[in-house]
Amino acid sequence: MKEIGDVTALVFDHGLGLPIAERLARDCKRVLYHSPWEEGFSTISKGILGDGIPGIERCDDYWSVKDEVDLWVFPDIQHGGLQTELRSQGCAVWGSGYASNLETNRELFLKVLEQVGLDVPKFKVCVGITALRRELKERENVYIKISKYRGSLETKHFRSWGLDANLLDLWAVRFGGVRELVRFLVFDAIETPLEIGGDTYCVGGQWPSPMLHGIEAKDKSYFSAVTRRDEMPDQIQAVNEAFGPILAGYNYANEWSVEIRVLGDKFYFIDPTCRMGLPSTSSQLELWSNWSEILWAGAHGELLDPEPLGKFSAEIILNAKADEGLWPSVEIPKELTQWVKLHDCCEVDGLRVFPRQAGDSENCGWLVAIGDSPQETLDNLKEYVAMLPDGLSGDLSPIADVIKEIEIEQAKGIEFSDETMPEPAEVLESV
């Protein structure tokens, strides 16, 4: 294999993986960035992603540069057919391939859980909105999911018929003429405050050491400890051991995250993340000094262990605001560039610009900090928050919720770290 400094990489993405392209640009000779943009009536907001960002070249047509690319990087799910074809031609591919079906096809995932001998959470499939109405009239405290079309319906907590029946009216309108064809999965709630997470990568069914023992406040914040594989919580080790052979069968080479609900002696693997983790990717980009080499070797089927630059990481979500209908733009201080991981954007005259369409979220990325102790990591994160420019905001307070979850985990005998965590009150006082 070439040295990483001689490698041309192409990142095939949908906007969220831009920080991965930027990280590769530190080490690779050349980094191209492609995101699908062509439609019957194409829009500039899709065709401009990645453009102008230092170290990255926006690439509209990846076929025109195919012979120049050494490393193909697919950080997100989908495009299994393209990855398979590239591999059949001898190309080096970092991606999930058809293993992304484990994330997008929930019924397949549940069958695999049973196949590998892990506990399957209780659920029922309701085909169509009418069947869903019948099921939910007498149900309370359940979670509703669908497969494949996550953009159409994210996981939703249904409290009771009296409180949430109107959701079904909304969904009947949203799904229109196919409302009786949609397969809804209704899951019983798993009554436990204990949810643990593991964030790493997998190459051909092999697992590196160390990896991240990470705890998340969903879509808000994250704290992780760099942990040897054999010292990870038993539940995470069991899941990875069970799924290693499954992922090997898919020729898997990508990031991998697990969310596990622990209830007494039982545990339930509730969602696989067969792609870059959000959060957790930002942490790995900065903690693993050999990140680019990991991808380059992994695309050739070779597992490299990460080389940590710290022992802990923390992340909070970032938001960019602008008046309705306007594209937000921010100027990132040079000393903050490494720690701000922005997605779905381009750069114009030194400003990060977010080409938004109506209804898009204000979320624009993650702010990450690393350190050799939990306190140092938190102090670094506080420093970076204070440096955020006008138009870009990050809320530290959810870190307090994560610390509380870590305390619950450790009280249940699941060790996060032997180092003392900051007090939640300390986080809140600094907000």
**201 and 320, same domain (yes or no):** yes
What dihedral angle (degrees, nearest 10) is formed by the CA atoms of 149, 76, 262, 406?
A: -130
Q: What is the rounded CA–CA span in Å between residue 386 and residue 38? A: 40
CA dihedral of residues 94, 99, 102, 107 (deg, nearest 10): 160
Q: Along the 431 residues of the chain, how does pLDDT read in single tens digits? A: 899 999 999 999 999 999 999 999 999 999 999 999 999 999 999 999 999 999 999 999 999 999 999 999 999 999 999 999 999 999 999 999 999 999 999 999 999 999 999 999 999 999 999 999 999 999 999 999 999 998 899 999 999 999 999 999 999 999 999 999 999 999 999 998 889 999 999 999 999 999 999 999 988 999 999 999 999 999 999 999 999 999 999 999 999 999 999 998 999 999 999 999 999 999 999 999 999 999 999 999 999 999 999 999 999 999 998 888 899 999 999 999 999 999 999 999 999 999 987 678 899 999 999 999 999 999 999 999 999 999 999 999 999 999 999 999 999 899 999 999 999 988 877 76
Domain check: are 247 and 361 in the same one? yes
Q: Give the number of residues written for the chain.
A: 431
CATH number at residue 16: 3.40.50.720
d(C-alpha 208, C-alpha 362), whole Å: 35
* 142 and 49 co-located in one domain: no
Inside any domain, residue 117: no
Question: Is residue 116 in some structural domain?
Answer: no
The CA–CA distances, whole Å, from 55 to 27, 52, 198, 216, 335 equal: 10, 9, 31, 31, 17
What domain range includes position 312? 195-262+272-429
Of 143, 166, 188, which marks where a domain is finished?
Answer: 188
pTM value?
A: 0.96
User: Can the peptide bond before residue 279 be classed as cis, meaning omega within 30 degrees of 0?
Assistant: yes
Nearest CA to 370 among 330, 338, 394, 401?
338
Specify whether 318 is located in the same domain as 364.
yes
Question: Are 219 and 141 in a shared domain?
Answer: no
Tell me: do 184 and 239 sit in the same domain.
no
Centre a 10 Å sphere on the Cβ of residue 111 and count the other Cβ atoms it contains.
Answer: 12
In the numeric block, which tokens belong to residue 392? 């870009």
Q: 209 and 147, same structural domain?
A: no
63 burial level (CB within 10 Å; 0-12, 13-18, 19+) = exposed
Collapse the DSSP code of 248 into the 3-class scheme (helix H, G, I; strand E, B; otherwise coil) and give the result.
helix
Residue where a domain stops, chosen among 130, 162, 188: 188
Cβ proximity of 368 and 286 under 8 Å: yes
Q: Are the C-beta atoms of 290 and 219 separated by less than 8 Å?
A: no
Strands 123-127 and 351-353: unpaired
Q: Is residue 112 part of a domain?
A: no
Amino acid at 8: T
CB 303 within 8 A of CB 254: no
Residues 58 and 141 in one domain: no
Cα distances from 42 to residues 47, 48, 260, in angstroms, run 8, 11, 41
Helix (H) / strand (E) element for 411: namely helix 398-411
Residue 113, in any domain of the structure: no
Helix (H, G, I), strand (E, B) or coil at 24: helix
pLDDT tens digits along 146-204: 999 988 999 999 999 999 999 999 999 999 999 999 999 999 999 988 899 999 999 99
**Same domain for 151 and 231:** no
Written as one string, the DSSP assignment of 333-347 is -GGGGGGEEE-S-EE
CA distances from 250 to 76, 149, 294 (A): 15, 22, 19
Alpha helices in 116-210 (DSSP H): 129-136, 161-164, 166-175
Of the residues 188, 209, 230, which one is the last residue of a structural domain?
Answer: 188
Domain count, the chain: 3
Residues 218 and 283 in one domain: yes
Instruction: Give which of 369, 367, 383, 395 is closest to 313, Cα–Cα.
Output: 369
